[in-house]
Amino acid sequence: MADKQGYTPYGYGVDKPVVVRSTVSYGRGWQMLRSRGEGSTATGPCDPPQDAADCNCSLTASPPPTDDRMPSCLRTSLCGLREPPPPPPATGARATILLVLDANATNQRFYFGKRDVFGAYSSQAKLAARLLLSLRAVKTTLPIHLLATGVRFPAVERQLSELGATVLPTGAAPAARVPAWASPWARASFAKLAALALGARFERLVVLDNDAVVLRNIDHLGGGPAAAAAPAAVFGWKCHPRRELRAALLVLQPSAAAHTRAQALLDDAATAVYDDNGEGSVWRALYPAGWHELPAGYAALRSAGFGADGWRRAHVLHDPNLLRKAGNARAGWKEAGMAARLRPIDDEAAHVAKGAIEPAIKEQQKAMKAEEKARRAAAGGGGGGGGGGARRRGRRGRSLSSPGRSRRHGVGRMRAGGRGGADLGE
């Protein structure tokens, strides 16, 4: 690729300019070195000042750069609303909040290695537990379902059920597929596309990434006259003025037809967007008529240029660990006391992870190791060994018991703030 000016929100400073030269990136690198787009001469911060109620695409006069291949953005009634409408009365519509938890050694992020399915799964299960706790804290009334694909971990699924998720049965959706053009960093993200196959069960889905935290009640996304039409998502900034479709929260109408179109896009190398070789490339191309736009506060990053009042009205925070080591978070984040606001939910999630999720994963490890040993013995290969990641030693093999690794890849704790219940507001 040609040299591009970008900015990084990570430990180098929120708005420090960098130049991305010809390189090979695993996708996340493009979020660390955020491109402004081919030929852009824009300057200034990647995330310009905005409010949580702002819609970055449908209410912006300037068109997006020609190289970003973004779908049309359609304004919704939520754009500009500083207070969202209340959720509608129960109508019997089949709507649900959906989490997707995939345990598949061939699909997971390369960071965890090709066989350490336990490390990758441990990370996602702990994050899902935190998400469920945040939904409970904001008094969610919408049903919550969990689509578990790949290797099933019954003991973990029982723990997540106790936190409010109804686990869908095996075979509820086809197995996840990863295209040949996928970034090694983003392989696991394609599991979310299986949600499109749930049309026989649900009319409307609010799909959340496992590393999201719900800050205010989002039941109004489940339906009603004021709800955004599906499909709906946030249009954020890759680096202003280059946009990206934020897939951390998606409002979908699942159907067999949509799932079939998604599978065709997976098979087409032309689907891949050069700095978004993950599920985002598929979502961009899936709906030719465009996406209905949700305000920025429905899938906000810590790097968002919200003021303190904007952060108090944000609904969903994605990837709270972003900027955790930078030491220079935006002023609005600090003024809103977001670190203190998040600490109770992080503390509660860390307690659940240590007391329930990690023991449940160790239980599965032990059972799978015994099964593998029995298979080897039956095949005449003798005992010893173990299954997959259970045989590993060293840093990855200790992934479920090492506190340091648990903080890095599971549920970490914020430094500031007090203890007590997770009161995130509504």
Please return the burial class of 90, using the count of CB atoms within 10 Å of its CB with bins 0-12, 13-18 and 19+.
Answer: exposed
**Which residues, including other chains, have CB under 8 Å from residue 353's CB and lie 6 or more apart?**
126, 129, 406, 410, 411
The answer to whether 381 and 97 are in contact (CB under 8 A) is: no
Q: Which CATH superfamily is domain 95-335 in?
A: Spore Coat Polysaccharide Biosynthesis Protein SpsA; Chain A (3.90.550.10)
Say which DSSP state 307 is in: -
The parts of the chain modelled with pLDDT lower than 70 are: 1-35, 37-39, 61-68, 89-93, 110-111, 113-115, 226, 322-329, 381-426
Q: Please report, rounded to a whole number, the percentage of residues in the chain having pLDDT higher than 90.
A: 51
Per-position DSSP letters for 35-93, written without gaps between them: E--TT----S-SS-B--TT--TTTT-SSPPPTTS-PPPEE--TTTT-SSPPPPPPP---
Tell me, yes or no, if the pTM score tops 0.85: no
At 172, the amino acid letter reads: A
**Which residues, including other chains, have CB under 8 Å from residue 128's CB and lie 6 or more apart?**
99, 101, 146, 160, 165, 210
- Angstrom distance (rounded) from CA 157 to CA 385: 26
Torsion of CA 237, 238, 241, 243, to 10 degrees: -70
Residue 223, token pair as written in the block: 């339906």
Q: Please give the pLDDT value at position 138.
A: 96
Q: Please give the pLDDT value at position 127.
A: 96
- Angstrom distance (rounded) from CA 296 to CA 276: 19
Q: Which of 174, 26, 187, 160 is nearest to 104 (CA)?
A: 187
Q: Give the model confidence (pLDDT) of 139-161 as tens digits.
A: 999 999 999 999 899 999 999 99
Q: Please give the pLDDT value at position 381.
A: 61
- Angstrom distance (rounded) from CA 102 to CA 100: 6
